[in-house]
Protein backbone atom coordinates (compact mmCIF):
# COMPACT_ATOMS: atom_id res chain seq x y z
CA UNK A 1 0.00 0.00 0.00
CA UNK A 2 1.27 3.49 -0.86
CA UNK A 3 2.28 5.38 2.33
CA UNK A 4 -0.08 8.19 3.21
CA UNK A 5 1.17 11.74 2.74
CA UNK A 6 0.21 15.22 3.82
CA UNK A 7 -2.35 16.99 1.70
CA UNK A 8 -3.41 20.60 1.24
CA UNK A 9 -6.89 21.64 0.12
CA UNK A 10 -7.19 25.19 -1.17
CA UNK A 11 -10.96 25.57 -0.91
CA UNK A 12 -13.28 24.42 1.88
CA UNK A 13 -16.44 26.29 2.93
CA UNK A 14 -16.11 25.09 6.51
CA UNK A 15 -17.65 28.01 8.39
CA UNK A 16 -20.54 28.22 5.92
CA UNK A 17 -21.34 24.57 6.59
CA UNK A 18 -21.00 25.01 10.33
CA UNK A 19 -23.10 28.15 10.68
CA UNK A 20 -25.43 28.32 7.69
CA UNK A 21 -26.11 24.54 7.66
CA UNK A 22 -25.60 24.03 11.43
CA UNK A 23 -23.07 21.22 11.10
CA UNK A 24 -20.84 20.39 14.08
CA UNK A 25 -17.62 19.71 12.21
CA UNK A 26 -15.98 18.21 15.30
CA UNK A 27 -18.26 15.20 14.79
CA UNK A 28 -17.64 12.65 12.07
CA UNK A 29 -19.13 12.90 8.59
CA UNK A 30 -21.20 9.81 9.34
CA UNK A 31 -22.74 11.33 12.46
CA UNK A 32 -23.62 14.50 10.55
CA UNK A 33 -25.19 12.48 7.73
CA UNK A 34 -27.35 10.59 10.21
CA UNK A 35 -28.47 13.84 11.86
CA UNK A 36 -29.50 15.26 8.48
CA UNK A 37 -31.20 12.14 7.17
CA UNK A 38 -34.65 13.76 7.19
CA UNK A 39 -33.45 17.27 6.27
CA UNK A 40 -34.59 18.32 2.78
CA UNK A 41 -32.32 20.10 0.32
CA UNK A 42 -29.42 19.46 -2.04
CA UNK A 43 -26.44 17.94 -0.26
CA UNK A 44 -28.22 17.31 3.03
CA UNK A 45 -27.34 13.95 4.54
CA UNK A 46 -24.57 13.65 1.94
CA UNK A 47 -21.72 15.60 3.54
CA UNK A 48 -18.10 14.62 2.93
CA UNK A 49 -16.12 16.97 5.19
CA UNK A 50 -15.61 17.06 8.95
CA UNK A 51 -12.52 17.37 11.11
CA UNK A 52 -12.07 13.65 11.95
CA UNK A 53 -12.05 12.82 8.24
CA UNK A 54 -9.71 15.73 7.50
CA UNK A 55 -7.27 14.29 10.02
CA UNK A 56 -7.57 10.81 8.55
CA UNK A 57 -6.88 12.32 5.14
CA UNK A 58 -3.88 14.22 6.56
CA UNK A 59 -5.23 17.56 5.36
CA UNK A 60 -2.44 19.51 7.01
CA UNK A 61 -3.43 22.83 5.45
CA UNK A 62 -6.71 24.18 4.10
CA UNK A 63 -7.79 27.51 2.70
CA UNK A 64 -10.90 28.00 4.81
CA UNK A 65 -13.45 30.44 3.47
CA UNK A 66 -15.87 33.05 4.61
CA UNK A 67 -18.75 33.44 2.15
CA UNK A 68 -21.63 35.93 2.05
CA UNK A 69 -22.72 37.61 -1.18
CA UNK A 70 -24.58 40.88 -1.68
CA UNK A 71 -25.34 40.90 -5.41
CA UNK A 72 -28.84 42.37 -5.23
CA UNK A 73 -30.38 38.92 -5.74
CA UNK A 74 -31.14 37.75 -2.17
CA UNK A 75 -30.96 34.02 -1.50
CA UNK A 76 -31.33 32.41 1.95
CA UNK A 77 -28.04 31.72 3.75
CA UNK A 78 -25.93 32.91 0.80
CA UNK A 79 -26.87 36.21 -0.88
CA UNK A 80 -27.88 39.03 1.44
CA UNK A 81 -29.88 42.20 0.88
CA UNK A 82 -27.10 44.64 1.81
CA UNK A 83 -23.30 44.68 2.13
CA UNK A 84 -23.70 45.35 5.86
CA UNK A 85 -25.62 42.10 6.27
CA UNK A 86 -23.03 40.21 4.22
CA UNK A 87 -20.31 41.74 6.38
CA UNK A 88 -22.05 40.66 9.57
CA UNK A 89 -22.48 37.09 8.35
CA UNK A 90 -18.88 36.83 7.14
CA UNK A 91 -17.56 38.30 10.40
CA UNK A 92 -19.47 35.59 12.24
CA UNK A 93 -17.87 32.95 10.05
CA UNK A 94 -14.44 34.40 10.79
CA UNK A 95 -15.26 34.36 14.52
CA UNK A 96 -16.06 30.64 14.22
CA UNK A 97 -12.52 29.94 13.04
CA UNK A 98 -11.11 32.01 15.89
CA UNK A 99 -13.24 30.06 18.37
CA UNK A 100 -11.94 26.75 17.01
CA UNK A 101 -8.40 28.06 17.28
CA UNK A 102 -8.96 29.11 20.88
CA UNK A 103 -10.20 25.60 21.64
CA UNK A 104 -7.06 24.09 20.09
CA UNK A 105 -8.72 22.29 17.17
CA UNK A 106 -7.17 24.40 14.42
CA UNK A 107 -4.35 26.83 13.80
CA UNK A 108 -5.10 29.98 11.78
CA UNK A 109 -1.95 30.63 9.75
CA UNK A 110 -1.29 34.36 9.48
CA UNK A 111 2.30 34.60 8.29
CA UNK A 112 5.53 32.96 7.20
CA UNK A 113 6.99 32.03 10.58
CA UNK A 114 3.76 30.40 11.68
CA UNK A 115 3.53 28.54 8.36
CA UNK A 116 7.05 27.13 8.73
CA UNK A 117 6.39 25.97 12.28
CA UNK A 118 3.14 24.33 11.20
CA UNK A 119 4.80 22.56 8.25
CA UNK A 120 7.63 21.36 10.49
CA UNK A 121 5.21 19.93 13.05
CA UNK A 122 3.18 18.11 10.40
CA UNK A 123 6.34 16.89 8.62
CA UNK A 124 7.60 15.31 11.83
CA UNK A 125 4.22 13.75 12.57
CA UNK A 126 3.89 12.49 9.01
CA UNK A 127 7.28 10.77 9.16
CA UNK A 128 6.43 9.15 12.48
CA UNK A 129 3.04 7.84 11.31
CA UNK A 130 3.35 6.68 7.69
CA UNK A 131 0.27 4.43 7.73
CA UNK A 132 -1.92 4.43 10.81
CA UNK A 133 -3.80 7.73 10.36
CA UNK A 134 -6.06 6.01 7.83
CA UNK A 135 -8.01 4.58 10.75
CA UNK A 136 -7.52 7.58 12.99
CA UNK A 137 -5.18 5.63 15.29
CA UNK A 138 -2.92 8.59 16.05
CA UNK A 139 -3.82 12.20 16.89
CA UNK A 140 -2.54 14.76 14.42
CA UNK A 141 -1.26 18.28 15.00
CA UNK A 142 -3.92 21.00 14.72
CA UNK A 143 -5.46 21.47 11.29
CA UNK A 144 -3.93 24.51 9.60
CA UNK A 145 -6.27 27.12 8.09
CA UNK A 146 -5.41 30.05 5.84
CA UNK A 147 -8.44 32.34 5.79
CA UNK A 148 -9.92 33.12 2.38
CA UNK A 149 -12.92 35.19 1.32
CA UNK A 150 -15.03 33.83 -1.53
CA UNK A 151 -16.35 37.00 -3.13
CA UNK A 152 -15.40 40.40 -1.73
CA UNK A 153 -18.93 41.67 -1.08
CA UNK A 154 -18.53 41.62 2.76
CA UNK A 155 -15.74 44.23 2.49
CA UNK A 156 -17.71 47.44 2.95
CA UNK A 157 -15.22 49.59 1.05
CA UNK A 158 -11.56 49.11 0.04
CA UNK A 159 -10.25 50.77 3.21
CA UNK A 160 -12.12 48.11 5.22
CA UNK A 161 -9.67 45.46 3.95
CA UNK A 162 -7.11 46.39 6.60
CA UNK A 163 -9.52 45.36 9.35
CA UNK A 164 -10.14 42.03 7.65
CA UNK A 165 -6.39 41.45 7.30
CA UNK A 166 -5.94 42.09 11.02
CA UNK A 167 -8.59 39.44 11.64
CA UNK A 168 -6.60 36.87 9.64
CA UNK A 169 -7.79 37.23 6.03
CA UNK A 170 -4.95 36.40 3.64
CA UNK A 171 -6.60 35.34 0.34
CA UNK A 172 -9.40 37.08 -1.57
CA UNK A 173 -11.64 36.26 -4.53
CA UNK A 174 -13.12 39.42 -6.02
CA UNK A 175 -16.42 37.78 -6.96
CA UNK A 176 -18.53 34.63 -6.75
CA UNK A 177 -21.54 33.76 -8.90
CA UNK A 178 -23.22 36.76 -10.49
CA UNK A 179 -22.49 40.50 -10.46
CA UNK A 180 -20.28 41.19 -7.44
CA UNK A 181 -19.72 44.65 -6.01
CA UNK A 182 -16.04 44.56 -6.98
CA UNK A 183 -16.02 42.46 -10.16
CA UNK A 184 -18.17 40.36 -12.41
CA UNK A 185 -18.35 36.74 -11.36
CA UNK A 186 -19.31 33.42 -12.89
CA UNK A 187 -22.09 33.79 -15.44
CA UNK A 188 -21.46 37.47 -16.20
CA UNK A 189 -19.58 39.50 -18.78
CA UNK A 190 -18.73 42.27 -16.34
CA UNK A 191 -15.17 43.41 -15.65
CA UNK A 192 -13.75 45.18 -12.62
CA UNK A 193 -15.91 47.87 -11.07
CA UNK A 194 -14.39 51.14 -9.90
CA UNK A 195 -14.55 49.76 -6.36
CA UNK A 196 -12.75 46.66 -7.61
CA UNK A 197 -9.90 48.67 -9.08
CA UNK A 198 -9.46 50.47 -5.77
CA UNK A 199 -9.65 47.19 -3.85
CA UNK A 200 -6.87 45.65 -5.95
CA UNK A 201 -4.62 48.58 -5.08
CA UNK A 202 -5.46 48.14 -1.41
CA UNK A 203 -4.74 44.40 -1.62
CA UNK A 204 -1.26 45.22 -2.84
CA UNK A 205 -0.72 47.66 0.00
CA UNK A 206 -2.08 45.41 2.75
CA UNK A 207 -0.66 42.13 1.46
CA UNK A 208 -3.79 40.10 0.69
CA UNK A 209 -3.26 37.62 -2.16
CA UNK A 210 -5.49 37.66 -5.24
CA UNK A 211 -7.47 34.48 -5.98
CA UNK A 212 -8.76 34.65 -9.57
CA UNK A 213 -11.38 31.93 -9.09
CA UNK A 214 -14.93 32.91 -10.11
CA UNK A 215 -13.83 36.03 -12.02
CA UNK A 216 -15.60 36.58 -15.31
CA UNK A 217 -13.23 36.40 -18.27
CA UNK A 218 -13.25 40.20 -18.46
CA UNK A 219 -12.51 40.62 -14.76
CA UNK A 220 -9.80 37.93 -14.91
CA UNK A 221 -7.76 39.74 -17.56
CA UNK A 222 -8.33 43.20 -16.09
CA UNK A 223 -7.30 42.05 -12.61
CA UNK A 224 -4.24 40.25 -13.94
CA UNK A 225 -3.17 43.39 -15.81
CA UNK A 226 -3.63 45.72 -12.84
CA UNK A 227 -2.37 43.55 -9.98
CA UNK A 228 1.41 43.02 -9.88
CA UNK A 229 1.43 40.72 -6.85
CA UNK A 230 1.12 36.93 -6.54
CA UNK A 231 -1.95 35.35 -8.14
CA UNK A 232 -3.53 31.92 -7.76
CA UNK A 233 -6.79 30.07 -8.26
CA UNK A 234 -8.09 28.11 -5.31
CA UNK A 235 -10.63 25.91 -7.12
CA UNK A 236 -10.75 25.93 -10.91
CA UNK A 237 -10.81 23.27 -13.60
CA UNK A 238 -9.99 23.22 -17.31
CA UNK A 239 -12.37 24.60 -19.93
CA UNK A 240 -10.82 22.32 -22.55
CA UNK A 241 -12.15 19.31 -20.62
CA UNK A 242 -15.40 20.74 -19.19
CA UNK A 243 -16.50 23.67 -21.38
CA UNK A 244 -18.03 26.44 -19.25
CA UNK A 245 -17.06 29.99 -18.37
CA UNK A 246 -16.52 28.83 -14.76
CA UNK A 247 -13.42 26.89 -15.88
CA UNK A 248 -10.15 28.33 -17.16
CA UNK A 249 -9.24 28.40 -20.82
CA UNK A 250 -5.77 27.16 -21.73
CA UNK A 251 -4.80 30.80 -22.26
CA UNK A 252 -5.85 31.66 -18.71
CA UNK A 253 -3.94 28.68 -17.34
CA UNK A 254 -0.82 29.84 -19.20
CA UNK A 255 -1.26 33.33 -17.78
CA UNK A 256 -1.35 32.03 -14.20
CA UNK A 257 1.61 29.74 -14.86
CA UNK A 258 3.46 32.74 -16.30
CA UNK A 259 3.00 34.51 -12.97
CA UNK A 260 4.22 31.40 -11.08
CA UNK A 261 0.73 30.85 -9.69
CA UNK A 262 -0.93 27.62 -8.60
CA UNK A 263 -4.35 26.25 -9.58
CA UNK A 264 -6.30 23.97 -7.25
CA UNK A 265 -8.47 21.47 -9.11
CA UNK A 266 -12.06 21.17 -7.84
CA UNK A 267 -14.18 18.06 -7.27
CA UNK A 268 -17.63 19.37 -8.27
CA UNK A 269 -18.95 16.79 -10.78
CA UNK A 270 -20.29 19.43 -13.19
CA UNK A 271 -16.80 20.96 -13.36
CA UNK A 272 -15.14 17.64 -14.16
CA UNK A 273 -17.04 16.25 -17.15
CA UNK A 274 -19.28 18.07 -19.63
CA UNK A 275 -23.01 17.50 -19.49
CA UNK A 276 -23.36 16.47 -15.86
CA UNK A 277 -26.25 18.16 -14.02
CA UNK A 278 -27.24 18.15 -10.36
CA UNK A 279 -29.61 15.24 -9.93
CA UNK A 280 -27.71 13.04 -12.38
CA UNK A 281 -25.93 9.91 -11.19
CA UNK A 282 -22.25 10.47 -10.39
CA UNK A 283 -21.35 6.86 -11.20
CA UNK A 284 -19.43 7.73 -14.37
CA UNK A 285 -17.30 10.42 -12.71
CA UNK A 286 -14.25 9.23 -10.79
CA UNK A 287 -11.21 10.72 -9.08
CA UNK A 288 -9.22 9.62 -12.13
CA UNK A 289 -11.17 12.25 -14.08
CA UNK A 290 -10.02 14.87 -11.56
CA UNK A 291 -6.45 13.74 -12.20
CA UNK A 292 -7.05 14.35 -15.92
CA UNK A 293 -7.57 18.03 -15.09
CA UNK A 294 -4.42 18.02 -12.94
CA UNK A 295 -2.49 16.44 -15.80
CA UNK A 296 -3.87 18.98 -18.30
CA UNK A 297 -2.51 21.84 -16.19
CA UNK A 298 0.84 20.07 -15.84
CA UNK A 299 1.09 19.51 -19.59
CA UNK A 300 0.40 23.18 -20.31
CA UNK A 301 2.91 24.26 -17.66
CA UNK A 302 5.55 21.73 -18.67
CA UNK A 303 5.93 20.64 -15.04
CA UNK A 304 3.98 19.68 -11.93
CA UNK A 305 4.79 23.01 -10.29
CA UNK A 306 1.43 24.72 -10.85
CA UNK A 307 -1.25 22.07 -10.22
CA UNK A 308 -2.76 21.31 -6.83
CA UNK A 309 -6.01 20.33 -5.09
CA UNK A 310 -8.83 22.73 -4.19
CA UNK A 311 -11.78 20.43 -3.69
CA UNK A 312 -14.77 22.71 -2.93
CA UNK A 313 -16.24 19.65 -1.19
CA UNK A 314 -19.55 20.37 0.56
CA UNK A 315 -19.72 23.68 -1.29
CA UNK A 316 -23.51 23.56 -1.52
CA UNK A 317 -23.50 19.90 -2.54
CA UNK A 318 -22.32 16.62 -1.05
CA UNK A 319 -21.34 13.10 -1.94
CA UNK A 320 -23.99 13.04 -4.69
CA UNK A 321 -22.20 15.84 -6.56
CA UNK A 322 -18.65 14.56 -6.01
CA UNK A 323 -16.71 11.78 -7.78
CA UNK A 324 -18.30 8.39 -7.24
CA UNK A 325 -15.23 6.85 -5.60
CA UNK A 326 -15.00 9.59 -2.97
CA UNK A 327 -16.91 8.94 0.25
CA UNK A 328 -15.24 11.55 2.44
CA UNK A 329 -12.40 14.05 2.20
CA UNK A 330 -10.08 11.35 3.58
CA UNK A 331 -10.25 9.79 0.12
CA UNK A 332 -8.07 12.58 -1.26
CA UNK A 333 -5.26 10.17 -0.42
CA UNK A 334 -6.36 8.14 -3.45
CA UNK A 335 -5.24 10.98 -5.71
CA UNK A 336 -1.56 10.30 -4.99
CA UNK A 337 -1.82 6.79 -6.41
CA UNK A 338 -3.84 7.93 -9.40
CA UNK A 339 -1.24 10.59 -10.21
CA UNK A 340 1.48 7.94 -9.95
CA UNK A 341 -0.40 5.82 -12.49
CA UNK A 342 0.01 8.68 -14.99
CA UNK A 343 3.78 8.36 -14.71
CA UNK A 344 4.49 11.12 -12.20
CA UNK A 345 7.31 10.61 -9.72
CA UNK A 346 7.39 10.99 -5.95
CA UNK A 347 8.50 14.64 -6.06
CA UNK A 348 5.70 15.51 -8.48
CA UNK A 349 3.13 13.76 -6.30
CA UNK A 350 4.30 15.60 -3.19
CA UNK A 351 4.14 18.90 -5.09
CA UNK A 352 0.58 18.30 -6.26
CA UNK A 353 -0.65 16.94 -2.93
CA UNK A 354 0.75 19.76 -0.77
CA UNK A 355 4.11 21.18 -1.84
CA UNK A 356 2.92 23.64 -4.46
CA UNK A 357 0.64 25.42 -2.01
CA UNK A 358 3.37 25.47 0.64
CA UNK A 359 5.78 26.99 -1.88
CA UNK A 360 3.23 29.50 -3.15
CA UNK A 361 2.48 30.81 0.34
CA UNK A 362 6.18 31.11 1.12
CA UNK A 363 6.62 33.27 -1.98
CA UNK A 364 3.47 35.31 -1.36
CA UNK A 365 4.58 35.97 2.19
CA UNK A 366 8.14 36.86 1.24
CA UNK A 367 10.15 33.82 2.35
CA UNK A 368 10.95 32.19 -1.02
Evaluate whether residue 191 is within a structural domain: yes
Evaluate whether residue 14 is within a structural domain: yes
The model's pLDDT over 192-204, given as tens digits with 9 standing for 90+, comes to: 999 999 999 999 9
101 pLDDT more than 60 = yes
2 pLDDT more than 60 = no
Residue 309, phi-psi category: left (phi > 0), alpha (psi -120 to 50), beta (remainder):
beta
User: How confident is the model over 16-45, as a mean pLDDT?
Assistant: 93
Evaluate whether residue 177 is within a structural domain: yes
User: How confident is the model over 130-154, as a mean pLDDT?
Assistant: 83
Q: Please give the model's pTM, rounded to 2 decimal places.
A: 0.96
**Domain carrying residue 193:** 7-364
182 pLDDT more than 50 = yes
Phi, psi torsion values for 331, nearest 5 degrees: -75, 0
Evaluate whether residue 192 is within a structural domain: yes
Number of domains in the chain: 1
User: How confident is the model over 154-167, as a mean pLDDT?
Assistant: 98
pLDDT of residue 133: 55
Q: Which residues are CB-neighbours of 28 under 8 A, at least 6 positions away?
A: 50, 52, 53
Residues in the chain, overall count: 368
The model's pLDDT over 304-348, given as tens digits with 9 standing for 90+, comes to: 999 999 999 999 899 999 999 999 999 999 999 999 999 999 999
**Chain mean pLDDT for the chain:** 95
User: How confident is the model over 20-47, as a mean pLDDT?
Assistant: 92
At 134, is the pLDDT very low, low, confident or very high (cuts 50, 70, 90)? Answer: very low
Burial state string for 308-328 with b = 16 or more CB within 10 A and e = fewer than 16: bbbbbbbbbbbbbbbbbebeb
Give the distance, in angstroms, between the CA of residue 42 and the centroid of all CA atoms in the same chain: 20
pLDDT of residue 69: 94
Evaluate whether residue 2 is within a structural domain: no
User: How confident is the model over 26-47, as a mean pLDDT?
Assistant: 92
pLDDT of residue 3: 57
Evaluate whether residue 1 is within a structural domain: no
pLDDT of residue 132: 65
User: How confident is the model over 103-124, as a mean pLDDT?
Assistant: 97
Give 5 or 225, the one with higher predicted confidence.
225
User: How confident is the model over 266-284, as a mean pLDDT?
Assistant: 95
At 72, is the pLDDT very low, low, confident or very high (cuts 50, 70, 90)? Answer: confident
CATH number, domain at 112? Answer: 3.20.20.140
The model's pLDDT over 221-267, given as tens digits with 9 standing for 90+, comes to: 999 999 999 999 999 999 999 999 999 999 999 999 999 999 999 99
Cβ neighbours of 340 (radius 10 Å): 15
1 pLDDT more than 50 = no
Evaluate whether residue 18 is within a structural domain: yes
Q: What is the C-alpha separation between 316 and 322, in angstroms, rounded?
A: 11
136 pLDDT more than 80 = no
Amino acid sequence: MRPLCRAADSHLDLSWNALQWNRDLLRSVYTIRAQEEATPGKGRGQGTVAFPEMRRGRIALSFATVLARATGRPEPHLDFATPAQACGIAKGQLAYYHALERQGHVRVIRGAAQLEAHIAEWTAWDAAHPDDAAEGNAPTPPLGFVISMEGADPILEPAHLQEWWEGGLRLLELSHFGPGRYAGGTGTEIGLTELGKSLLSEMGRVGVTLDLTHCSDQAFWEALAQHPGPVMASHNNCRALAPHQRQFSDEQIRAIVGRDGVIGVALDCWMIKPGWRHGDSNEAIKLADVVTHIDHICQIAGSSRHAAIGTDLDGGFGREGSPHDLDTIADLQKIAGLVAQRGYGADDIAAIMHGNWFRFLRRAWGTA
